[in-house]
Chains A and B, each alone.
Chain A
Amino acid sequence: MKKITRRAFSVLLLAVLVIAGLTVYVLRYIDHGADWALYFNRLNSGSSGELLDRNGVVLAAFSANENDYAADPLTRTANYHVTGDYWGRTGTGILSTYWNRMQGFSLLTGTTRSTAATTRLYIDAGLNNTAYTALAGRKGCVLVTNYKTGELLCMVSSPAVDPADPNAEPGEGAYINRALSSVFVPGSIFKLVTAAAAIETVPDLDTRRFYCEGKGYIAGVEINCSGEHYTQTFEQALANSCNVAFSKLATLVGQENMVKYVRSFGFLDPHKLGDIPTAAGSYPTEFVGDPELGWSGIGQSTDLVNPYAMLRFVSAVGNGGVLVEPTMINTGKAPVKSRFMASDTADKLRQMMAYNVSYAYDGDFRFGGLPLCAKTGTAELGGDLTSHAWFVGFLDDETHPYAFVVLVENGGGGLSVASPVAYRVLQHCMRLE
């Protein structure tokens, strides 16, 4: 009988497998329970809810037996990356990330019946439509925030899909929200960051002069420039977007300080727009020589910037150095504010960006006299690739305090390609209350 007793333990092997399987299930339940539960239970729990833009436009509405989106196809498509869809094809939409709150689910209680759960956004669906139309099918993104209140008014990533059309052919990366989930070579818009670091660390900056004859040398390595700018002040160098001057400035700031500022401005970290995570950018943090440091100061080298991180930067500059964290969902909570950079630095940058627009971009002609402070970027990608076109900045206007980021991926020149998109969006913004 002892032998039998020992052999009986083989049954316990089965028991162990059962316990292991149950453990797997419990772990999976903790991980995916919400996704599983909400997949079918919206239809069966009797929950209903609505997703509204700031003006009450319905972006998504669901009830026991219906999943609806906005009535009009442009609104559905332009706002796709805000809403997401009911089946979670894009991970960053509200319908994916805020499902739980709209539905009522917790690991403890499972789904709970929620009726008429309304979620109201700060997004202006009409503004998104304008931005999406302005991008005209090109790959890219547009972000607009109110830098005084943090209300995110516009978030568009192109191409997008019409979630109500099951046969829609998604364009390249249509399920990726470029504004939040991607990083890009910044090019000249990064000179704003180098400028901010220089203002705080390089002595006698206003009395310095920068000489450019179409190219310059750092430790014998050539830095080419877009033009021959000869002798310039710091302010003029930004307006000229002079590579020679800004690569020199980066070496004056030094790598240690550059990394410190890039990091403190949040370009190296992921952020959260509400519950939605954003992608982290990059900058050479390991030691590189001065020539490479110079390239990094003009947004080349290994620099990569996430559009949303850039929005935070220009938003803080517009607001005198205080960042009001952008928010998309109107929860009625007070905005989160923090000191992003010294107010003197922000003021100086604001003046320089305004000078940019009037002196270099012919603002009166090109932007119809908008109180615009901005910087272009034409990020060279090497090879045969067309540059990324950037246009970032803000309106220096008490009643229209909007900061923006426009990116046209592989679009070409910042001023020629990205700024017209921004202009159309800002014209719409000026009509807002």
Chain B
Amino acid sequence: MTVTELFLEYMLRASKYALILLSIAIIVRCIRSMLREQYEPETWAYIRTHEGKLPVNHWEVILGRSRSADVRINQKGVSRSHAVLTRNDYGVWTVYDIFDRSGVWVNGERVGDRGIRVNDKDVINLGGVNVRFQEIPLERREKLEEKRSVPGRGVSPAVTLLELTLFQLFLLMQHAMFAKEENLPTIALGFAALAIMQWSCYNAMRVIGRSGFEVETLAFYLSTLGMSVAATSTPDDMYKQILLTLAGVILFLIGGWWLRSLQRTATMRMPVAAAALALLAVNAVFSDVILGARNWLIIGGFSFQPSELVKVAYVYVGAATLEHLFREKNLYSFIAFSAMCVLALALIGDFGTALVFFICFLVISFMRSGSIATVILAVSGAVIAGLLAVTARPYIGQRFASWGHVWEDVYDKGYQQVRAMSAAAAGGLFGKGAGAGWLKDIVAGNTDMVFAVICEEQGLIIALCMCLAVLTLAFFAVRSARFGRSAYYAIAACAAMSMMLTQLALNVFGSLDILPFTGVTFPFVSRGGSSLLSCWMMMAFIKGADNRREASFAVRPGERMRNAPPPEVEEEEEDEDE
């Protein structure tokens, strides 16, 4: 070995360890900030009972006698879940009857189907029990807000982002050792573009006074690995990856901004549902078959998978505000919508994606109804449908037949899985270096077997960190539900993460022969434009649910949201914040 070779060998080795340490540091910092630190809920109003003042911590609360009621009024006559009290963007409070047993009256007026507006000091009668609604003046709420913790105090987001930038630098260094010389400029541009995007986003957040940046950091971390996969597998196509990432980030920002208004979000649900179904219909008619699934629309040379966009629409349509959850007809129309989506996907032969939708459907319908029976019913229906699909489409049955036996047929049915497992194991814990693997050149290596590609090139530890990043986002979505203003955001965030987790499971375990091989993408990392766009848009839902103080750009700061003026002066112009 010459001195140069020896030097390069040591550089490679050092960069491997650095990448692993940085990965762990980034994930651990995000976990600490997102899942370990304690945050407090907002307080929007009070309900005065004979027992004292009970805080209203959300825009949507259940009044009732049970422990699961948000405002617990433990008196005879009150049902377990008696009424729903909601606030809208303009500060107008409305009370709805759940029609469980006895009725609800406001100032003596019986609450009907559409609810009744509640003003400061109004008396709400719940089955004979009187409570008084009390608004909190803006100045008082500002004081309350100041007591809440702001993210980023214990764990500085800038330091985490700096670590990510170093991570990108070391990754680029590895590519420099293995890539063809003519590809190097565009690869360098790819990582530079990522760094610029993430710091621009960060600075924009600072400018508007937001300090929660963990979701973005994790998304950029995953996008960085995606960029690395693109650089190793399709280095001639780097511009596309850069543009798609940029488009993804922009859509993420637009989506987050859109979610700021609950009214706007909720009223657009029906049009979005219609658009999604139309897109699926167009897809079923005009799409081209690529790799077994008729799931590609080719428009002006760009191919994209409509189902990826429908994923976002599905979450958008599936989530609902609390007062809607108690009306069964709302759930039925959602079930009908879901059935149409899943059927359309099954028709075009994309069973992996159909399964992703189905799992998401289970999560949404459970969160909406709380009914295990619904879930069991849906699962048994799906099992029957699945069996029909297997008999109707023999190639799907084949995948199940080879499941668990891939090593018995390494040149045909187990072709992809055995290569994925072999390459993944060859990488060991530390990997062979970015660009040094061979699995990327196997058909669908950079999409369906991307976990193995990362294992081979970056090692098992980083591949596990990649999964941990998605898991962290999921845990965060679940944790955020507790502080969310509206059930809509909580359900949307959880639904989005359930999709990502399902995709992760099908992608990773399918390629490793732990589950049958279905060929779905790994969020952010798998090569694929539409998938990347949809993943970034999904992140908007997480941001929408992040109700920590001054954390998310997708949430309006509470201390600047005025109460609605009393109804007599309603014609006065209503304020938007900022």
Contacts and interface: CB of A to CB of B under 8 A. Distances in A.
Interface residues of B, number: 60
Nearest to A24: B514
Query: Which applies to chain A's interface (DSSP): helix, strand, loop or mixed?
Result: helix
Given A1-B61, A41-B422, A110-B425, A7 B505 contact: no
Contact of B428 (A7, A14, A32, A107): A107
B62 A3 contact: yes
Contacts of A4: 322, 367, 481, 484, 487, 490-491
Given A37-B422, A40-B423, A6 B68 contact: yes
Interface string B43-60: 000000000000001101
Interface in A1-53: 1-12, 14-15, 17-19, 21-22, 24-26, 28-29, 32-34, 36-41, 44-45
B509 interface: yes
B514 A10 contact: no
Interface in B191-209: none
Interface string B219-244: 00000000000000000000000000
Interface string B348-370: 00000000000100110011001
B408 to A, nearest CB: 12
A293 B459 CA distance: 60
Nearest to B58: A1
A10 B490 CA distance: 13
Contacts, number: 145
Contacts of B460: 26, 29
A7 B493 CA distance: 13
Contacts of B491: 4
Most buried by B among A17, A24, A25, A26: A25
Contacts of A399: none
B7 to A, nearest CB: 17
B508 interface: yes
A356 interface: no
A9 B467 CA distance: 19
Nearest to A19: B471
A21 B367 contact: no
B464 interface: yes
Nearest to A29: B425
Contact of B490 (A8, A12, A25, A108): A8
Contacts of B61: 1
B249 interface: no
B87 interface: no
A22 B464 contact: yes
A106 interface: yes
Contacts of B481: 1, 4-5, 8
Contacts of B521: none
Interface string A106-126: 111111000000000000000
B95 interface: no
B422 A36 contact: yes
Contacts of B410: 39
B512 A7 contact: no
B363 A40 contact: no
Contacts of A25: 508-509, 512, 514
Interface size class for chain A? 35 or more
B431 interface: yes
B505 to A, nearest CB: 5
Nearest to A35: B425
Given A5-B481, A5-B490, A22-B464, A39 B430 contact: no
A1 B60 contact: yes
A23 to B, nearest CB: 10
B313 interface: no
B514 to A, nearest CB: 5
A33 B425 contact: yes
A14 B430 contact: no
A110 B430 contact: yes
Nearest to B362: A10
Contacts of A12: 474-475, 478
B497 interface: yes
Nearest to B475: A15
Nearest to B487: A4
Interface string B370-410: 10000000000000000000000000000000000000001
Nearest to A109: B428
A24 B421 CA distance: 13
Given A1-B487, A40-B419, A109 B366 contact: no
Contacts of B359: 14
B471 A15 contact: yes
A36 B504 CA distance: 22
Nearest to B501: A14
A7 B475 contact: no
A39 B60 CA distance: 58
Nearest to B515: A21
Contacts of A109: 428-430
A7 B429 CA distance: 37
A9 B512 CA distance: 27
B428 A110 contact: yes
B426 A45 contact: yes
B427 interface: yes
Contact of A108 (B430, B474, B514): B430
Contact of A21 (B69, B370, B514): B514
A28 B501 CA distance: 21
Identify the 9 closest CB pairs spanning chains A and B, nearest first.
Answer: A110-B428, A37-B425, A36-B425, A40-B422, A8-B481, A33-B425, A37-B426, A14-B501, A41-B426
Given A2-B68, A4-B487, 5 more contacts: A9-B478, A18-B508, A40-B419, A107-B429, A110-B427
20 contacts: A1-B70, A2-B68, A2-B69, A4-B367, A5-B481, A5-B482, A14-B359, A14-B498, A14-B501, A15-B474, A15-B475, A19-B471, A21-B509, A25-B512, A32-B425, A39-B422, A108-B428, A110-B425, A110-B456, A111-B428
